[in-house]
Amino acid sequence: MRGALISWTIFTASLAAQGTKPQAKPEDYPVHADLNGVTIAAENFGHGITSEYGALFAREYIAIDVAVFSKDKKALAFSAGQFTLRINGKKTPLLAQAPGMVAASIKYDDWTQRPGITGGGGLGNGGVTMGGPRPAERFPGDPNGRRPPSVPPVGTDDPNVPKEQPASLDEVLQRSSLPEGNQNVAPFSGFLYYPHTGKMSKIKSLELLYEGPYGEATIRLL
């Protein structure tokens, strides 16, 4: 039992959000808001998601890159549940969705039978392409289905250097999401994902709403 608990702890730690690389200062983002001791900056990426492994396209979601800045070098408490997204002034804002749901929509977007857009990225001598339509595996071992895309490990000939294991699409999105908890020291940043199946051109106003321990803010993205 103890061994299983340790293995689970290691597994969940490997999926912890690492976030995106924050800009140098809040003014480097299109919008930002000053709160009680912290500054929240944000940028709307539409259906696009950038990651350390390349570009992704999530047709069912809007990706918002959120950054947190503070002059104090102390741990801050932030979570995705503190942020909602209001589109076109609708009364009920959208809740942020788990990275796994976004990954599933990308992996199985052939269910909708719509044309896709593919994002590609390189790593070392290899490459990775994610986001295009692919046959869904309808049952374990389905020969018509494909495994989720993974990132090739960094090549090395040194036997003493551990080889980096391939990352699944779920892991890539989790690593790129906003780090949560109360152990993060600013600046840090990461993506939040909100469901949206319509065209971005139909959006006339886009507001990121924050409500948490540092106050409240309405950040106009559009």
Q: Quick count: other Cβ atoms within 10 Å of Cβ 114?
A: 9
pLDDT tens for the chain, 222 residues: list them.
444 333 333 333 344 557 899 999 999 999 999 998 899 999 999 999 987 778 899 999 999 999 999 988 889 999 999 999 999 999 999 999 999 999 999 988 644 444 333 344 433 333 333 343 344 444 444 444 444 333 344 444 555 554 555 578 899 999 999 999 888 999 999 999 999 998 999 999 999 999 999 999 999 999
pTM of the model: 0.69
In the chain, % helix, strand, coil (3-state, to 5) comes to 20, 35, 45
Quote the distance between the C-alpha of residue 167 and its chain's center: 14
8-42 burial, b if ≥16 CB within 10 A, otherwise e? Answer: eeeeeeeeebebbebbeebeebebbbebeebbbbb
User: What does the alpha-carbon distance between residue 127 and residue 55 come to, in Å, rounded to a whole number?
Assistant: 11
Q: How far is CA 175 from the centre of its chain?
A: 7
CA neighbor of 184 nearest in space, from 99, 98, 75, 70? 75
Which tokens in the block code for residue 186?
A: 């600013």
